[in-house]
Amino acid sequence: MDFSLTDEQKALCEAAHDFATKEMGPKAKGLEDDNVPVTFDDRMRMGEYGFLGVNVATDYGGLGLDDLTAVLILEEFAQVSPAVAFPVFESCFGPARAIERFGSETLKQRILPRICRGQSIVAISMSEPDAGSALTDLKTRAEVRGDTIRINGQKRWCSGAGHADGYLVYCRLSDEPGAKGIGAVFVDSDKAGLSFGAQEQLMGFRGIPSADIYFDDVDVGIDDRVVDAGGFKLLMEAFDLERCGNATMSLSIAQSALDQVIDYVQERQQFGRPIVEFQAVQLKLANMAMKIEAARLLIYRAVENASRGFPSIKDSSIAKCFANEMVREVTGDALQMMGGYGYHKDSGMEQRFRDAWGWGIAGGAIDIQKTNIASALIGKRFSQRR
């Protein structure tokens, strides 16, 4: 088992680090303060450097590299901020990969090159007012009418709503109950009948727009169908990769928190010496580092075990669950060690603490991941309805 990176991966990581810190770092606080996403021009710059669609096939404008390399690139961007990293996240781990795997050739050629160039961003639209963890209860309908699909319904907690150029919409494509009737269609943002609620004001995730989406007789072409009814399992296989992107966001927030607090404890003096000289601080730093490295290895294992396919539900759920819990602990400890300075908005640590909690809610709550892990261990799915 070789844990070393290739020369190509090292070069890409260095380029991503330089771009993220030097070009996007000075803009990150503005995204946070104003609660606005990365600009179109900055997305285009990301695309020019090849940071979008790292693991998308070259036929569709990506670099055609593996998922581990995409994880490494996302790590570098997310250490600056989740908002800065979000275009990388969506292009490498989000709906773009589901479209690449399951979409029609017409749709892939129309959408994916634009994502990889930074011209478009596509968001995933899954949850509904009454369908979050119980996703198979979703009610949004998509009725096939010859060469047209008509969509009606409402979606909630869509990261990118009102800002993205298109949406991968999970919907009911047949009258079959539960998962059997669920598939997915792609909807361009300029379609008639598509509207959005007010932008959500969340505890964290500032710079990543979120809002309700309303579909009122929204018509799309038959080639915009990504997965037909009965393909819910395929959609969730693609979502196993998104879980790894979610875990990487958690990993990066924790790593940046540790990096900052290491600098702080060497500079901050109490009782006549730097506080790093106190054993209690040393033990905290060691525990933080161990948790971060464990999360990193779980994520790397999940994507490497996939062998160019999607990660398993077991590996991805373990990686996400551990990373989601870890980042809350690490940012909490880091904030505590910095005291009032950590609690102050100018430090950036309180933002990390707020953002940390979001990733254990987004993409499947922590406890849902634990039921996934138990199901994989036992070899059966457990119904939560009885």
Residues 46 and 100 in one domain: yes
In a domain, 328, yes or no: yes
Domain boundary among 192, 210, 229: 229
What one-character DSSP code corresponds to residue 127? -
Residues 260 and 225 in one domain: no
Residues 260 and 370 in one domain: yes
pLDDT at 383: 78
Decide: 135 and 73 in contact? Cβ < 8 Å: no
| C-alpha to C-alpha distance for 43 and 118, rounded to whole angstroms | 5
pLDDT at 303: 95
| Collapsed DSSP state (helix, strand, coil) of residue 149 | strand
The count of structural domains within the chain is 3
Tokens 């319904």 belong to which residue?
A: 153
pLDDT at 386: 67
Residues 242 and 369 in one domain: yes
Structure tokens at 186: 């792609």
Residues whose CB falls within 8 Å of the CB of residue 208, separated by 6 or more in sequence, listed in order: 37, 82, 83, 86, 159, 160
pLDDT at 384: 76
pLDDT at 306: 85
Decide: 376 and 314 in contact? Cβ < 8 Å: yes
Domain boundary among 86, 105, 120: 120
Decide: 78 and 320 in contact? Cβ < 8 Å: no
Q: Which amino acid is at 101?
A: R
Give the domain extent around 84.
7-120
Return the bridge partners of 182, or none.
172
Write the CATH number for 109: 1.10.540.10
Would you write out the chain's pLDDT as a tens digit for each of its 386 residues? 788 899 999 999 999 999 999 999 999 999 999 999 999 999 999 999 999 999 999 999 999 999 999 999 999 999 999 999 999 999 999 999 999 999 999 999 999 999 999 999 999 999 999 998 889 999 999 999 999 999 999 999 999 999 999 999 999 999 999 999 999 999 999 999 999 999 999 999 999 999 999 999 999 999 999 999 999 999 999 999 999 999 999 999 999 999 999 999 999 999 999 999 999 999 999 999 999 999 999 999 999 998 668 999 999 999 999 999 999 999 999 999 999 999 999 999 999 999 999 999 999 999 999 999 999 999 988 877 76
Residues 223 and 240 in one domain: no
Residues 166 and 52 in one domain: no
pLDDT at 385: 72
Residues whose CB falls within 8 Å of the CB of residue 14, separated by 6 or more in sequence, listed in order: none
pLDDT at 132: 87
Backbone CA torsion sign across 11, 252, 213, 55: positive
